[in-house]
Amino acid sequence: MNTKTKVGFIGLGAMGRGAVANLLAKGYDVVGCDVRADALDWLRAEGGTPASSLAEMAGQVHIVVCFVVNSQQTEAVLFGNGGLVGRLPAGAVFIACSTMDPGYVRALEGRLAQHSIALIDAPVTGGAIGAERGSLTIMGSGTREAFEVARPVLETFGAHVHYLGLAGSGAQMKVLNQLLCGVHLAAAGEALALAKRQGLPLDLTLEILCSGAAGSWMLADRGPRMIAGRFDHITSAVDIFVKDMSLVLDATRESRFPAALAHAAYLAFLGTAARGLGAQDDSAVTTHYEMTAGAS
């Protein structure tokens, strides 16, 4: 690998920081953008190069990794005031790691192609811990040629990098992933709220459930926070799952596919957000069941 390869990086949140740390550790130079000054300070301290604007970044790189929240932020990064389109060099590759609507992604590929920019749709799963450890699963799609350009970058923070074909296929796979994540997380919150109402010892309950067939990644990861009732250490917010489960429901409507469990999980996250907890960690979904049952 050319150790002087520069990669642009947008979005230095919990996931983005882990990915950037791996890029830097594996020999890449990273030019980063974020709206928060503290995130840019962090990047500088890690050995990366903060960019004061997207335009400043665009003049230095041929590959950009984007870890923003949704399609609206992606649109702003690309086509908004001071955005990358028209500033990136011809032949640049834009790697979108956000969870977005597959239809938007498919249209975006064509729009970027008009500006000689290749899109790689590459949503990820594995959480902030996976980003930090470089063990994310990445669901890549786009042209094979552009994907092979992007692959070495993706492999710095992804242990399982998959190519799914045409752009939008990655987004479709991420929708399925979020269906299961949302249902598993909501189910974990419901089970632990029931255990609390029944007066079971919660630490032991979690240990038993995680050790047997009822265990899940979501239960093991979010369960301790649900038991503690502390939701201010945010790895992924309730509002993120409101957004992601909305994408799931959009997909089920388009496919004429009845998905009762997905709908129930969506309502649990929406109910949690409606109580003012949308910005809290998504493990706060357990409070939806506690409040619904009238628990203290």
Domain with CATH 1.10.1040.10 in the chain: 172-292
Helical residues (DSSP H) of the chain, grouped into ranges: 14-25, 37-46, 54-58, 71-79, 102-113, 127-133, 144-157, 169-198, 202-211, 217-228, 238-254, 260-272, 286-292
**In this predicted structure, what is the pLDDT of residue 254?**
94
Predicted model pTM? 0.92
Domain with CATH 3.40.50.720 in the chain: 6-166
**In this predicted structure, what is the pLDDT of residue 67?**
97
Over residues 247-260, the mean pLDDT reads 96
**In this predicted structure, what is the pLDDT of residue 1?**
42
Over residues 257-265, the mean pLDDT reads 97
Fold held by 6-166: Rossmann fold (3.40.50)
Report the share of the chain in percent with pLDDT over 70: 98
**In this predicted structure, what is the pLDDT of residue 4?**
61
Using the predicted structure, report yes or no on whether residue 295 has a pLDDT greater than 60: no
pLDDT digit string, tens, across residues 174-194: 999 999 999 999 999 999 999
Using the predicted structure, report yes or no on whether residue 127 has a pLDDT greater than 80: yes
Q: For domain 172-292, which CATH number applies: 1.10.645.10, 1.10.10.10, 1.10.1040.10, 3.20.20.140?
A: 1.10.1040.10
User: Of 4, 6, 26, 174, which one is the catalytic site residue?
Assistant: 174
**Paired tokens of 95:** 């790697």
- Catalytic residue flag (residue 196): no
Using the predicted structure, report yes or no on whether residue 2 has a pLDDT greater than 60: no
d(CA 177, CA 244): 10
233 compared with 116, residue with greater pLDDT = 116
**In this predicted structure, what is the pLDDT of residue 106?**
97
> By three-state DSSP, how is residue 9 classified?
strand
